[in-house]
Amino acid sequence: MASYSLLVRSLLAVVLLVLGLTPVSASNAFSFQISRYSNECFFELLKRNDRLDLSFEVMHSSGSDYDIDYTISNPDGSLLHSFPQERQGNLGFNAIHEGSYQICFSNMRYNSEKMIVFSITGPDEHKIIRDMKKDNTKEIDEEQMDLFRTLQILMDNIRFMRDEQSFLLKRQNRHRETIQSTHGRVLWWSFGQIVMVLIACGFQVLYLRRFFETKRVV
């Protein structure tokens, strides 16, 4: 019973870890600005066979294009993955070599500033789960193992929901900015049409007045 309570407390601690209630997190979601004709790079230190998952989306652009180029390079500088002209992406891989992997976003071909939402899920979470399994495998029965697997699935779902919520919030803000911009353009276009109609009416009135004045003189 003591080992069962210890397992439950440990698993709940991991769930809280995924929720971000503890100082350390295996998943880092953040946003950053990338200037026109520039690059932004991030580095992730991995050991051999470590798992790294990342996702991103271009949420805002000062121009009409939302495309970005991004690459992932091995510790020796060789290219691991390359994805040109992407607006969003999801990628996961297992490290073949130990060292610092480079993740770069390139805006060199585009004449607009962009805001990118970026999420990295590192190997820490998987390490915690492996260590817990190693410490408790000999002491737990099948029922407890089912609970362990259920909570592990719950952790993955919570992490996915948190990342998706962050993306949806950023996307909602982008759509609101687009709607406000479109509304402003429609308003100014309507105002311009009204001014053009008034000017046309004024010219027509002046033309008719001159026409009748000329006719009276004749």
Q: Which amino acid is at 201?
A: C
Sign of CA dihedral 195, 200, 205, 209: positive
| Rounded CA separation 178/192 (Å) | 21
pLDDT value, residue 205: 83
- Those residues whose C-beta lies under 8 Å from the C-beta of residue 194, and which sit 6 or more positions away, are none
Could you tell me the mean pLDDT of each successive run of 10 residues in the chain, 218 residues long? Answer: 46 48 51 90 91 87 86 93 89 91 92 88 68 59 70 72 72 77 83 87 82 63
Judge contact between 33 and 98, C-beta under 8 A: no
Strand partners, 81: 72
pTM (2 d.p.): 0.51
pLDDT value, residue 105: 94
Count of beta carbons in the 10 Å neighbourhood of residue 89: 14
Strand partners, 42: 103
Tens of pLDDT, residues 145-167: 677 777 777 777 776 777 777 67
Using DSSP's 3-state secondary structure scheme, residue 4 falls into helix
pLDDT value, residue 107: 93
- Dihedral class, residue 182 (left if φ above 0, else alpha if ψ from -120 to 50, else beta): alpha
Size of the chain, expressed as the number of residues it contains: 218
Element (H, E) at 207: helix 142-217
pLDDT value, residue 95: 92
C-alpha distances (whole Å) from 215 to each of 22, 59, 212 are: 90, 65, 5
pLDDT value, residue 133: 61
Half-sphere exposure at residue 156, Cβ-oriented, CA atoms within 13 angstroms = 8
pLDDT value, residue 157: 72
Tens of pLDDT, residues 172-212: 777 777 787 788 788 888 888 888 888 888 888 887 777 77
